[in-house]
Structure 1
Amino acid sequence: MTAEGADAKGVGDTGTTPSTDQPTANRATADESRVPGSLGRIGRVVGREVRTVARTRTYVVLAVALAAVLLGLTLTGSATAGYVPTVADLLTPLEALVPVVAVAFGYRAIVSDAERGELDVLETYPVTAWEHVLGVYAGRAVGLLVAVGGSLTLAGAAVAVSQEEPAAIYATQRGVDSPILFARFVVLTAAFALVVLAVAIALSALANGARSALALAIVALIGLLVGLDLALVLGLVEGVIPDAALVDTLAVSPLSAYRGLVFETVITTAAGTGPQAASPLASLVGLVAWLVGSLAIASWSVGR
C-alpha cells in the first residue's frame, strides 16, 4: 500500500470515528439529564422517610395517644371557657409531651440508616450529607406535624363546639378570646416541635448505635425539660444573669423560648395586661439558632 493510500485510509478511519461515538455521547448526555437536581434528591429522601413513618406502628400509636391526651385535657378542662383558657391548660402538658414525641420521631432517624449500611451506599450516589440530613428531617417533620398539629386541631374543634359563648372569629385585639389566638398557639407549638426534632436528628447522627442514640435522647430530654431552665434559674440566683437581661436570656432554652412566645403572643394578648414573660424577637432567634445549628451538626457528622 502506498503512503497516499495509507494516509487516505487513516483519514477515512478518522472520519468514521465521530459517527461511531455519537450514540454513546448522546446516551451519556441523556443519562446526565435524568440525574435529579438537589431538590429532586432531597425529595426522594423525604418520600422514603414519609413512607417509613406511615408504616411504623410506633409513630401512629404516639400520634393517636397524643391526640387522646390533649382531647381529654381539653374536654375536662377549660373547653367551655374558650380558646385562651384552653391554651393555659394545655401549655404545661405540652412542654413535656412535645419534646418526648419529637425525640421519639427523630432519635433513630440517622443511626438506623448507618446500621443498615445505607449511609455507605449513599456515598456511591450524588447525594451530599446535607441533602440527606435535610431530606430525613423534612420527612420526619411531616409525620411530627401531623401528630402535633392534628392533635391540637382536634382540641380546638372541641373548644369550638363546647364553649358557652362563641368567640369573634377574626378578633385579635387585646382582651378578646379568639380562635386566631389558638391558631397562633398551634403554630408556635409546631415550631417548638420542629426545633426539638432537629436536636434529635443531630443526636441520631452523632450516635454510634441504637443504644447510644437512646441514651443521648434521654439526656437531651432531661436537658431540654429541666437542665437548661435550671441553669437559667441558678444563673439568676448567683447574679450571673442580670435581672434586666432575663427576658432575653430565656431564649437560650428552647422550652423557655416557646413558653415565653406563647405568653407574649397568646395569653397576654388576650388578657390585655401582664408582666413581660420573654422577648419575642430573642425567643424566635433562639429557636432558629437551635434548629439551624442542630441540622448543621447532623450534616457535619454524616459527612465526616
Structure 2
Amino acid sequence: MSDENPTRDGVEAQAQAQPHNQPQTATTTPPGAKHVLKTIIGRELRTIARTRTFYVLALALAAVVLGVAWTGGGIRAGFVPTAVDLLTPLELLVPVVAVAFGYRAVLADEQRGELDVLETYPVSNRSIVLGVYVGRVIGLLVAIVVPLVLVAIAVVVAEEDRILIYASHAGVDSPLLFARFVVLTALFAMAVLAVAIAVSAAVSATRSALALAVVALVVLLVGLDLLLVYGFTSGLIGDGALVHSLALSPLSAFRGLVFDTVVVVAAGTGPAVASPLASVLGLVGWTVGSLALASWLLNR
C-alpha cells in the first residue's frame, strides 16, 4: 500500500546490536533461520498496525458485512440465511481486500532494500515469502473474521422466527454451519492473498504491481469462471466432471463449498453443486502454488 511505513525494523537492528559492556569479536553467531522468520512475521504485523489504509479497508468490510446482514433480514432469520445473504458480497469484497493487503508486500521490501539485508542471513527465499505471507494473513483474517463473529453474535441476539424450510429440519440452522462458512471464507481469503504475494514478487515498480493486481482480480472474479462456462458449453467439460472442475477457480471453489457444505446441509436435500474434496484441494493448491511461484521469482 502507498502509505506503508518504510522502516527497517527487526532484522537489521538485531544484526547491529552488541552489548555495550562486551568488546566486539570477529566472529559472531548470526540469528537462526527460525528467529529471522519470526522477525519477518513480527515486522509484517507492525507494518499492518502502522498502515492506515488497512484500517480503512477493515472498517469498510465490517460496515458492509454488518449492513448487508441486517438489511437483508438474515440476522433475524437465522445463521444459514445470514450466510446466504453474505455470500455474494464476500465473493467480491474478500478478493479486493486480500489483494490490497498483499500486492505490495514483497515489492515494498525490495524497494526499501530489506531483501538485500535478509539475503545476508541463513534464511531461504521460501522462508522470506512464508514470513511475509503469515504476517499479512494474520492481519487479513482479523479484518475478515471479526465482522463475521459480530454477525454471529447479532444472530443469537436478534433471531426471530426461522424460515419454514429451516424450521422443518430440527437443529439444522446451527451456529456450527455458520462457523463452517467463516472457515471457508478464511480459506478463500488465504488463497487470494497468496496470489497477491506472487504478484508482489513478480514486479519491480508500484505502478506495475497495481496493474498486475487489477488483472489478477479480473481473472479471479470473472476470467476463470468464464473459462469454466466456455468449457462446459463447448463440451470440453462433461456433466460428470463439472462439479470437480469448479475447483480450478478459487471463487467457484469457495461458492461451491458454501452451497454444498452449508446451504444444502441445512436444506436437508439438494443436488451436488461441488466436490468438497476437490474444492478444498483447489484452494490449497492455489495457496501453495502461488507461494511457491513467489519464492521462485525471488530467486531470479
TM-score under structure 1 length normalisation: 0.86
Q: Structure 1 CA distance, aligned partners of 2:217 and 2:26?
A: 52
Q: Is the 8 A contact 1:80 1:164 kept in 2?
A: yes
Q: Which ranges of structure 2 fall in alignment gaps of 5 or more residues?
A: 1-22, 163-168
Q: Distance in 2 between matches of 1:27 and 1:117?
A: 25
Percent identity between matched residues is: 63
Q: Which runs of 4+ in 1 moved over 6 A?
A: none
Rounded Cα–Cα distance in structure 2 between residues aligned with 1:101 and 1:244: 34
CA distance in 1, matches of 2:296, 2:86: 37
Relative to 1, partners in 2 of residues 1:186 and 1:27: Cα closer, same or farther, differing over 3 Å? same
> Which residue of structure 1 aligns with residue 71 of structure 2?
76
Other-structure match for 2:7 = none
Letter in 2 for 1:94: L
| Counterparts of 1:37 and 1:254, CA distance in 2 | 36
Equivalent residue number for residue 152 of structure 2: 156
| Residue number in structure 1 paired with 2:119 | 123
Give the letter for the 1:83 counterpart: F
Rounded to whole Å, the distance in 2 between the matches of 1:267 and 1:81 is 14
CA deviation after TM superposition for structure 1 residue 275, in Å: 1.1
Report the Cα distance in structure 2 between the residues aligned to 1:100 and 1:290, rounded to whole angstroms.
17
Cα deviations across residues 146-200 of structure 1 (Å, max 9, x unaligned)? 000011111111111110159xxxxxx8871011100000010001000000000
* 2:86 matched residue in structure 1: 90
State which of 279, 283, 291 in structure 1 corresponds to 2:275. Answer: 279
Larger radius of gyration: 1
**Matched AA of 2:276:** P
| Equivalent residues of 2:148, 2:182 under 8 A apart | yes
* 1:177 partnered with 2:186: no
**How do 1:187-198 and structure 2 match up within 5 A?**
187-198=183-194
Residue 231 (str. 1) matches residue 227 (str. 2): yes
- When the two chains are superposed, the root-mean-square deviation of aligned CA atoms in Å is 1.7
Is 2:294 aligned against 1:302?
Answer: no
CA positional deviation for 1:39: 2.2
Give structure 1 stretches of 5+ with no counterpart: 1-23, 167-172
Partner of 1:12: none
Contact 1:175 1:272 in 2 (8 A): no
The whole-number CA distance in structure 2 between the counterparts of 1:266 and 1:36 is 46
Higher-helix-fraction structure = 1
Letter in 2 for 1:43: K
Q: Which residues of 2 match residues 261-280 of structure 1 at below 5 A?
A: 261-280=257-276
Seen in structure 2, the aligned counterparts of structure 1 residues 125 and 174 have a Cα distance that, compared at 3 Å, is farther
1:36 CA displacement: 3.4
Equivalent residue for 1:136, pick from 123, 132, 139: 132
Secondary structure of the corresponding residue to residue 76 of structure 2: coil
Partner of 2:109: 113
253-262 or 38-47: which moved more? 38-47
Give the structure 1 partner of residue 16 of structure 2.
none
After TM superposition, list the pairs within 5 Å mapping 1:40-55 onto structure 2. Answer: 40-55=35-50
Q: Give the residue type in structure 2 aligned to 1:162.
A: A
TM-score by length of 2: 0.87
Contact 1:87 1:185 survives alignment (8 Å): yes
- Contact 1:67–1:154 at 8 Å: present in 2 too? no
User: What is the DSSP-based 3-state SS (H/G/I as helix, E as strand, rest coil) of the residue aligned with 1:80?
Assistant: helix
Query: Number of aligned pairs?
Result: 270
Partner of 2:4: none
| Deviations, residues 120-141 of structure 1 (Å, cap 9, x unaligned) | 2222222221111000000000
For the 8 Å contact 1:232–1:250, the answer to whether it is kept is yes
Distance 1:145-1:218 versus aligned 2 partners, 3 A rule? same
Letter matched to residue 48 of structure 1: R
Taking structure 1 as reference, are residues 256 and 127 closer, same or farther at Cα in structure 2, changes over 3 Å only?
A: same
